[in-house]
Every structure is written in structure tokens, then in C-alpha cells.
Amino acid sequence: SAIGSLAGYPPSTLNRLAPESGVRPRPVVLSGPSGAGKSTLMKMLLRDYDGVFGFSVSHTTRDPRPGEVDGKDYHFSNREAMQEDIDDGKYIENAEFSGNLYGTSKSSVDDVRAKGLICILDVEIQGVRNIKETDLDPIYVSIQPPSIEILEKRLRDRNTETEESLQKRLEAARVDMELSRSPLLSYPGVFDVLIVNDDLEEAYDKLQSVLIEEITKVQSTKKEKCNS
């Protein structure tokens, strides 16, 4: 539909969620291995474009890391409750990693879109496949590290993983990097853009240029509201 409906939602719900102007910005899916710099780039967008982006807070069954806040970094859930909601179709995407569930609920995306903001989704590559089967119609951006060696150094410098967990992340990253970098071979037409995060400022400039059309939509809608 014209307002980018979500899979399985009746049109009446979507019309109710649409901002008055009817110009809905497309959501943004950021994907890439842990340590590629997705979180840093998201924080830069939220810092520089106040009132333009909203972050879809994912659910997970993993334990919080030091400093993480429930409801802000993740919604921390138990496996039974989260699996039940997944089975009930309340999730746009979900994936399992290192024995923990991760997922994006429909309600977390709705909360952002109802405000007329660009919804940012931080999604594992498994989850990207799920979203492709909905009619969410986001912009798909793959954030990749320059090499697996640099990624390993970044993850070790974080010092938040056990060695076993780190090796699992690196293995997942190898798969992610292969899929993202050979779209013609193994993953046709998935990402709208691939950004290699070698230099943070350059990566950020490229990300902004990809999103500027949607950013302008939100800013002009806000101006209209202020002037009316």
C-alpha cells in the first residue's frame, strides 16, 4: 500500500498509524557483524538529527551487559515468553545466536512510525531474510568491517565476550561478510548499499547520503506542522 504496510496488519490499523501528511519515511535496516560499527553509526545519526530517527528496540533472551538498560538497549526477556510471542506472529523478524533469541517486535516498529520518524532496525543477516518477506519496504544497509582481522581486534578490545562467544561471533561474521560482499553469487539484491567501515567519518558521510531523502521528508513534515 501507499503507506508501506506491515505484513498481516489490517489497513485500518495502518491508516491510524500514519502521520497526518501521509508522507511516511521508509524504515532503515542496518545489518552487519557485531563489531562492524552499527551501534556507533546509529548513535551519530540520533545525535545529529534530533527528532528525525527513532530506534526500534530489539528483544533478546541474553543477559544484559554491564551498562545496558532494559527498554533502551534491548528489551530483555525470558525464552518462554519471547518464543510464545514469536509463535503468535508478533515479530517482524527473529533469529537465534549463541543460544539466545533476538528479534524485532511489530509493536516496537509501530511505536516509532506512529510518530512519523524514520525507524532504525539493527538486524542480524538471518533477520534481514525475514524482513524481505514482509511489505515493510525499508532501505537495507550493510555495515561491514575492512577485514576479519580488524573485526577480531575490535571485539577483543571491547572485552565483553568469553573466548567461546568471541569465536562464535567471528564465525558468524565470516558468513555475514561473504553473503554481503557477493550478492550476485549467494544473496541476490539484498542490500541497497554496502558500507565498509574503515574510517568512521567516511562511513558516516556515506550513510547520511543514503538516508538524506528520508531525512528531508521528516524535516519538511515537521516544518509544515510548525507553520500550520
Q: Which residues are catalytic?
A: 65, 158, 169
User: DSSP state, 28?
Assistant: E
Q: Give the DSSP H or E segment for 195.
A: strand 193-196
Helix or strand (DSSP H, E) at 221 = helix 200-227
Contact between residue 64 and residue 76 where contact means Cβ atoms under 8 Å apart: yes
Please provide the DSSP assignment of 101-145 as one string: EEEEEHHHHHHHHTTTPEEEEEE-HHHHHHHHTSS--PEEEEEE-
Q: Cβ-count burial of 89 within 10 angstroms (0-12 exposed, 13-18 middle, 19+ buried)?
A: exposed
Cα separation, 31 vs 104, in Å, equals 13
